[in-house]
């Protein structure tokens, strides 16, 4: 993966390239940023840059043997630690390498593969994924070996906030005194969730939130959809490219339109119409239902920003903006909070395989009551 394949992130990229030229790249770097801004692709692009045999001032060459191997996830000096389900097999603790083929097949064909997708790949939502102490001992063992062919040994840890205390204790020494020519790259969505012992020992780089234009460009280029649809999906995706990808994959049904029609029916309290509007949702796939609720959460939050006269913070297309303007008048802080709680509950029920028709009918009814409440 080259930097040129990374969407936006010009500032953090040029900052890092500058640091590298000055010979000041720290041995451990925390790559922070919101969901779906491309932290893992960024880490891999950086790993490729520092191990490329023929890098330019601004990017890896993309063609040398090191680039080729990193780009396929098969470079022997670039190691990965991924959150996984703790399990044992024949008395042995399972590690990232046991799951790595599945990860490689997905991530290296779609670099904007997200953590939620990984979770679904492993177990379909319900189990906790985390980084174990066994994993960190194994990482330490690998990094203490001599580099096989790379200029640098690199450890990429995806979602370091999934590391538990015992894992962190095993990792601390490695982080403080890594073997020579070792670079540790960690990604994290919420620095507040990282154990302090780790947090205080890392330099950070912050990735930028992606704009509607960034995401729309990505969709047009990789998903082969037209400009207007790309802009709508991008606006609905909350700056998160994983959401955008999920929205394009769920169905050709326009999510936003479905949401608006459903919410109108709910507000009016016309239960025949609610059933008609909710039907395409509860009859669609579970993925679509989850996307629909995620979109509803985003839309309600944005409408509330309009209510607070902060429209500039909401990412909205002109058509959405028009809807928010009107709907904002019906919201109060308390109503917004109650609606968001109901949406979160509905999402939990859907993930837990509850009957979708019941979930969406109950949700519609609860939202009707909340909106009518004085």
Phi, psi angle pair for 28, to nearest 5°: -140, 130
Give the C-alpha separation, 234 to 258, whole Å: 16
Q: Is 292 left (phi over 0), alpha (psi -120 to 50) or beta?
A: alpha
CB of 371 to Zn ion, least distance (A): 57
CB of 134 to Zn ion, least distance (A): 33
Q: Which is nearer to Zn ion, 18 or 68 (CB)?
A: 68
Q: Which is nearer to Zn ion, 52 or 367 (CB)?
A: 52
Q: Which is nearer to Zn ion, 68 or 110 (CB)?
A: 68
Q: Which is nearer to Zn ion, 52 or 263 (CB)?
A: 52
* Helix or strand run (H / E) with residue 256: helix 255-268
CB of 226 to Zn ion, least distance (A): 36
Concatenated DSSP letters for 57-91?
Answer: SSS--S-SHHHHHHHTT--TTEEEE--B---EETT
Q: How far is CA 324 from CA 89, 119, 212, 252, 318, in A?
A: 52, 33, 17, 23, 10
Give the C-alpha separation, 368 to 370, whole Å: 6
Q: Which is nearer to Zn ion, 67 or 143 (CB)?
A: 67
Contacts of residue 179, defined as CB under 8 A and 6 or more positions apart, other chains included, come to: 143, 144, 153
CB of 4 to Zn ion, least distance (A): 13
**Number of C-beta neighbours around residue 108 at 10 A:** 16
CB of 174 to Zn ion, least distance (A): 27
Per CB under 5 A, residues contacting Zn ion are: 52, 60-61, 64, 67
CB of 97 to Zn ion, least distance (A): 25
Contacts of residue 202, defined as CB under 8 A and 6 or more positions apart, other chains included, come to: 26, 28, 29, 30, 175, 186
Closest CA to 168 of 200, 209, 205: 200
Task: Name the β-bridge partners of 157.
Answer: 81, 186
Q: Which is nearer to Zn ion, 69 or 162 (CB)?
A: 69
CB of 181 to Zn ion, least distance (A): 17
Q: Which is nearer to Zn ion, 64 or 86 (CB)?
A: 64
């Amino acid at each position: 993966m080259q930097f040129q394949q990374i969407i936006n992130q010009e500032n953090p990229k040029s900052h890092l390239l500058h640091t590298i030229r000055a010979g000041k790249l720290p041995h451990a770097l925390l790559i922070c940023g919101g969901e779906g801004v491309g932290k893992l692709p960024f880490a891999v692009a950086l790993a490729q840059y520092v191990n490329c045999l023929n890098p330019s001032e601004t990017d890896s060459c993309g063609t040398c043997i090191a680039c080729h191997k990193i780009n396929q996830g098969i470079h022997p000096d670039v190691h990965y630690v991924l959150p996984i389900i703790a399990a044992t097999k024949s008395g042995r603790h399972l590690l990232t390498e046991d799951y790595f083929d599945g990860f490689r097949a997905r991530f290296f064909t779609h670099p904007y593969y997200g953590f939620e997708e990984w979770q679904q790949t492993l177990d379909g939502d319900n189990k906790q994924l985390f980084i174990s102490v066994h994993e960190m001992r194994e990482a330490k063992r690998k990094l203490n070996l001599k580099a096989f062919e790379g200029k640098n040994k690199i450890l990429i840890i995806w979602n370091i906030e999934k590391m538990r205390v015992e894992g962190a204790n095993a990792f601390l020494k490695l982080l403080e005194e890594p073997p020579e020519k070792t670079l540790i790259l960690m990604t994290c969505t919420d620095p507040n969730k990282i154990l302090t012992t780790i947090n205080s020992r890392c330099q950070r780089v912050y990735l930028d939130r992606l704009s509607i234009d960034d995401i729309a460009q990505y969709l047009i280029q990789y998903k082969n959809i037209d400009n207007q649809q790309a802009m709508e999906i991008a606006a609905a995706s909350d700056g998160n490219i994983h959401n955008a990808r999920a929205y394009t994959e769920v169905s050709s049904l326009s999510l936003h339109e479905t949401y608006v029609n459903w919410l109108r029916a709910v507000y009016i309290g016309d239960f025949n119409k609610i059933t008609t509007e909710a039907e395409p949702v509860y009859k669609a796939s579970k993925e679509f239902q989850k996307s629909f609720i995620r979109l509803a959460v985003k839309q309600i939050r944005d409408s509330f920003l309009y209510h607070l006269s902060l429209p500039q913070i909401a990412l909205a297309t002109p058509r959405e903006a028009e809807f928010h303007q009107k709907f904002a008048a019906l919201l109060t802080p308390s109503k917004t909070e109650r609606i968001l709680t109901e949406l979160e509950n509905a999402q939990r029920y859907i993930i837990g395989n509850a009957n979708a028709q019941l979930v969406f009918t109950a949700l519609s009814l609860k939202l009707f009551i909340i909106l009518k409440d004085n």
